[in-house]
Structure 1
C-alpha cells in the first residue's frame, strides 16, 4: 500500500494544533497529517523574542527538518495561512501547494489598531469570560495574557509595514488557493481575491456560510475542498 502524502496544518493566532482534531481525522483518510504549535501557543513556552511571522516560519522549518518532510502541501488557517505564504516567498523549496482560509492580508495601521483593540485581556475577561478561560487552558502553562500581548504587538508590526507586499505575492511560484467564508467579519472577499490574483498560480474560493472561527467550519466540506485541491493533477 503506497504511503500517504504528507499534509501540514498550520493554526491561527491564539490557536493551537488541537483545533484541527476533527478536520485532521477526516483528512487522515487521504493524507499523513502533520501539525505543530507555534512558539507560545498550545502549551509551548513563550520565547523572549517577539511574535512575528518570521519567527513562526522558523518554527515550521524546524518541524520540517525534524520530521524530514520535503515540500509538504500545506493548509493554513488565518495567521497559519500567512505563515505558509511567507515560507513560499522566502523559503520556496521547503513547501508545496498552499491553501489558506480566513487569512487577513489588508494590513494597515488602522487595521492593526482595530485588531489590537480586540486583544485586551481585561476586556476579554469582562465581556467574554468563557473565551478567556479557553485561552488560559489552551496555552497553559504559558500565561494567556502574555500570548495576547505579544499577538497584539505582532499585529501592530504587520500594520506598520512588517507584512507581505504585493510584489511578494507576485513572486510566489506555488499553486495556491486563497479561501474565505462568506460570513467572515474579519477578512474581506476583496482582499482575498486581490491576493489570489497577484499569485501567478493563485485561485480564489468562497465558502458559503462560513464565519471566521475554524471551530465553526463545516469540516466535511472543508476536508473535501482541501483534498480536491491538494490531489488534483
Structure 2
C-alpha cells in the first residue's frame, strides 16, 4: 500500500473511488486498521474518493514513542491530506477516529465539508480504566493484545451478532491481536487525555452523530450530549454495540451516504 512520509515515519493509506470525486476520509477505531471499513468501501467509492489510513501506532503505519495526543493524530491527518494535495474533505471517524474528527471540527473546520462522528464521545472512559489498560499492555506485550482481543468481542459487538456472524466479527477483533502493544498503549493515552466537552460548540461543519443502542463504551447518551452542543447536528441510532459500521452494515452505510450526499 502507498505511504506518506511524515517527519518521524511513514503513514499507510489507501484510496478508492474516482479521482475527481469529493474526498471522504475514514478514520479507524482504537485497535483496528483501515480494513475495518471494508464493508463500506463499495458503496462509498461509487460517490467519493475514499481515503482511509492506519492511525499512527496501528496497522502498517509508524509506531513512535508515546504517549500520543489526539491533536498529534489530527495533525497526521492534515499532513496526509496536504501531501496528497487535498484541501477540502468530509471526515467519518469511529470511536478514537471520532475524537480525531472532533479535533478537526474544532481546529480545522474551514477544510471540512461534513463530519460524521460514530460511536464516540467528547470524553471516553476514565483515567483509571485507561491507565490500567496501558500498564497491562506494556507489561504483557503481544500476549496481552491477544487477551484484549478475546475481551473486546463483547464490547465491540452484541452477543447475538458475534454468535451469528463470526465471519464478520472475528477478522475485526483479530486486528487487535496484531496491533503493536507500544502503539496501542500510546493511543490509549491519547484517548484518555482527550476532553472536548467544553469545545464542541466550536464545530460548525454539518455533523451526523452515529450511536449504537447497545454500545456500553460510548453510549447513546454520549451521542445526545454531542448533538445538543453541536449546532444543527443530526443523530441516528442503530441496533449495534461499539462497531456499528460492522454490525449495522448496510443500514450504517446508507445512513452515512444519505447524510453526506444530501
State the TM-score bracket (shorter-chain normalisation).
0.7 to 0.9
2:232 to 186, 201, 222: 201
| Number of the residue aligned with 1:146 | 182
Q: What pairs with 1:40-119 in structure 2 (closer than 5 Å)?
A: 40-107=57-124, 111-118=126-133
Query: Which SS does the other structure have where 1:96 is aligned?
Result: strand
| Number of the residue aligned with 2:219 | 188
Distance 2:148 2:19 in 1: 51
Distance 1:130 1:165, change over 3 A: closer
Contact (CA 8 Å) 1:12, 1:79: kept in 2 or not?
yes
2:240 corresponds to 1:225: no
Query: Which SS does the other structure have where 1:186 is aligned?
Result: coil
Distance 1:129 1:174 in 2: 37
Count of residue pairs the alignment pairs up? 219
Distance 1:230 1:126, change over 3 A: closer
> Which structure shows the higher strand fraction?
2
Contact (CA 8 Å) 1:104, 1:186: kept in 2 or not?
no
Runs of 5+ consecutive residues of structure 1 not aligned to the other structure:
none
Return the TM-score normalized by structure 2.
0.74
| Number of the residue aligned with 1:7 | 24
Structure 1 residue 45, shift from structure 2 partner: 2.0
Query: Which SS does the other structure have where 1:229 is aligned?
Result: helix
Contact (CA 8 Å) 2:95, 2:118: kept in 1 or not?
yes
Structure 1 residue 72, shift from structure 2 partner: 0.7
- Superposition misfits of 4+ residues, deviation over 6 angstroms: 130-133
Distance 1:153 1:172 in 2: 24
Contact (CA 8 Å) 1:15, 1:42: kept in 2 or not?
yes
Distance 1:188 1:37, change over 3 A: same
1:135 to 158, 176, 179: 176
| Number of the residue aligned with 2:204 | 173
Distance 1:215 1:225 in 2: 10
2:192 corresponds to 1:156: yes
